[in-house]
C-alpha cells in the first residue's frame, strides 16, 4: 500500500510539472551585493571585514556593504519573497535557485563594462546577465524548458545600478569616459546601454521588473569630504536627477512596448534628499558623515576593524563613506513600496501587509 501511494505521488509530480515558488533575481552594485565580491579574490571592493554586518544575523561580515540589510532585502521581505543568495556562494544549487532565486549584484559594478575598473574585479551588468543565462541553462536541465520558462516569467526582477557609472567612472579623470562624453551624451550612453540590457532580460523571461533610481549621490560622505566646503556637490546631484528622468522615460517606454512587461521605476531621490537636509524629522542625528570611520582621518574608503563606530547606528543616515545605514535603507524601502504599491504574490489590495524583518540587535559585537 505504501509503495502504491509513493508511486502515485511521484507520478502526480511528473504529470503536474514544477510547482515553482516565486523568487527574485537581483542585478546590482554594492547597494545590493550580498557577498559576490567576497569570492572575487582580487577585488578591491569587498565587505569582508568588521564592522560590516554588525546588525545582521550573527553580526559577522556577510558581503553586504552595510551594518544590516539592503533595500532589496527589505522590499523582498515586505513582498514575502525569500532573500536570494549570492551567485558565487558555494552552496548555490539548482534546488536553492528554485527556492530562493539568485543575487548577482557586485560592488563596483556598473551599467557600463568599463565602470569600476580601479576595483580590478567586479561584475558589470552585462556580466551579471551572462551569469543569469547560465543559471537558466541549469534550471532547464533540471525541470524542463516549459516549467523553466514559467519559473523565470513569474519571478521578480530588480536592476539597481548606475551610481558607479558616475562616481567610479565619468566623474573620475582617470577614466576615458570622463573626457569622451559631456553630461548629456554620457547619460544618453547609459540609457541606450540600459535599453539593450533590459530588453535582453525581457527576452530571458523578465516580466515583472523594477529599476532603482539614483539618490542624491553628491551628498554621500565621500563626495562631501572631497568638496571644498564640506557641502553636497550640486553637479553630481544634477547628474542623478537627469539620469533618473531619462531612465524613468525608458522604463515607461519598455513597459508599454515589450510583451506582457510590467516594468517600474523606483525613485526615492526626493525623500532621501529630505532626510539628508532635515535628518531630525526622520529620527536621525547625522546625515553628513559615516557611522564607521577613522574619525577626522577622511576619506576612509572602507570600514574595517580599526575603524571607530558611532554610538548609535540607528541615528546615522550613512554607514560608511558610500553606503546608507540599515535605518536609512528601511526608510528608502518604505518609500519605494509606498510609491509603487508592491503586493505579495497572490495578494490583493485588501490584504494587510506583513512587516519587514528587522536586523538583529547585536551591539555586543562592537
Side-chain-side CA neighbours of residue 92 (13 Å): 19
Alpha helix (H) residue ranges in the chain:
2-16, 71-78, 94-100, 125-143, 145-154, 163-165, 177-180, 183-203, 221-226, 234-257, 269-277, 326-340
In the residue annotation, 202 being an active-site residue is answered as no
User: C-alpha cell of 363?
Assistant: 551591539
- Please identify which residue in the block is written with the cell numbers 579623470: 173
In the residue annotation, 43 being an active-site residue is answered as no
The CA-based dihedral angle spanning residues 309, 296, 220, 47, taken in that order and rounded to the nearest 10 degrees: -50
Q: Rounded distance, CA 118 to CA 169, Å?
A: 9
Catalytic: which of 29, 267, 320, 326? Answer: 320
Catalytic: which of 29, 30, 202, 327? Answer: 30
Whether the Cβ atoms of residue 179 and residue 173 lie closer than 8 Å to each other: yes
Q: What secondary structure letter does DSSP report for 294?
A: B
Whether the Cβ atoms of residue 26 and residue 160 lie closer than 8 Å to each other: yes
In the residue annotation, 323 being an active-site residue is answered as yes
Catalytic: which of 32, 177, 323, 325? Answer: 323
Which residues are designated catalytic? 30, 320, 323
Amino acid at each position: 500500500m505504501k509503495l502504491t501511494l509513493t508511486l502515485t505521488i511521484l507520478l502526480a509530480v511528473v504529470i503536474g510539472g514544477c510547482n515553482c515558488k516565486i523568487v527574485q533575481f537581483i542585478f546590482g552594485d554594492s547597494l545590493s551585493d550580498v557577498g559576490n565580491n567576497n569570492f572575487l579574490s582580487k577585488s578591491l571592493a569587498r565587505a569582508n571585514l568588521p564592522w560590516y554586518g554588525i546588525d545582521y544575523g550573527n553580526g559577522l561580515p556577510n558581503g553586504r556593504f552595510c551594518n544590516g540589510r539592503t533595500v532589496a532585502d527589505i522590499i523582498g521581505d515586505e513582498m514575502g519573497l525569500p532573500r536570494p543568495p549570492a551567485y558565487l556562494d558555494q552552496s548555490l544549487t539548482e534546488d536553492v535557485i528554485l527556492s530562493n532565486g539568485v543575487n548577482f549584484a557586485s560592488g563596483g559594478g556598473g551599467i557600463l563594462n568599463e565602470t569600476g575598473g580601479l576595483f580590478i574585479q567586479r561584475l558589470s551588468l552585462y556580466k551579471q546577465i551572462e551569469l543569469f543565462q547560465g543559471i537558466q541553462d541549469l534550471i532547464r536541465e533540471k525541470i524542463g524548458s516549459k516549467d523553466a520558462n514559467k519559473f523565470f516569467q513569474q519571478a521578480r526582477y530588480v536592476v539597481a545600478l548606475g551610481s558607479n557609472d558616475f562616481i567610479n567612472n565619468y566623474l573620475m579623470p582617470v577614466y576615458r569616459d570622463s573626457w569622451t562624453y559631456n553630461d548629456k551624451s554620457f547619460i544618453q550612453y547609459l540609457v541606450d546601454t540600459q535599453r539593450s540590457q533590459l530588453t535582453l532580460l525581457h527576452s530571458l523571461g523578465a516580466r515583472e521588473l523594477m529599476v532603482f533610481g539614483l539618490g542624491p549621490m553628491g551628498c554621500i560622505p565621500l563626495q562631501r569630504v572631497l568638496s571644498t566646503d564640506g557641502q553636497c556637490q550640486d553637479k553630481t546631484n544634477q547628474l542623478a536627477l537627469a539620469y533618473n528622468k531619462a531612465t524613468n522615460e525608458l522604463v515607461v517606454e519598455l513597459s508599454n512596448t515589450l510583451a506582457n512587461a510590467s516594468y517600474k521605476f523606483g525613485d526615492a531621490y526626493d525623500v532621501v534628499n529630505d532626510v539628508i537636509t532635515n535628518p531630525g524629522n526622520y529620527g536621525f542625528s547625522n546625515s553628513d558623515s559615516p557611522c564607521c570611520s577613522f574619525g577626522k582621518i577622511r576619506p576612509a574608503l572602507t570600514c574595517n576593524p580599526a575603524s571607530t563606530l558611532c554610538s548609535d547606528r540607528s541615528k546615522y543616515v550613512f554607514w560608511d563613506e558610500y553606503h546608507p545605514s540599515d535605518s536609512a535603507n528601511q526608510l528608502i524601502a518604505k518609500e519605494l513600496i509606498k510609491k509603487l504599491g508592491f503586493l505579495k504574490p497572490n495578494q490583493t489590495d485588501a490584504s494587510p501587509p506583513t512587516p519587514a524583518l528587522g536586523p538583529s540587535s547585536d551591539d555586543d559585537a562592537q
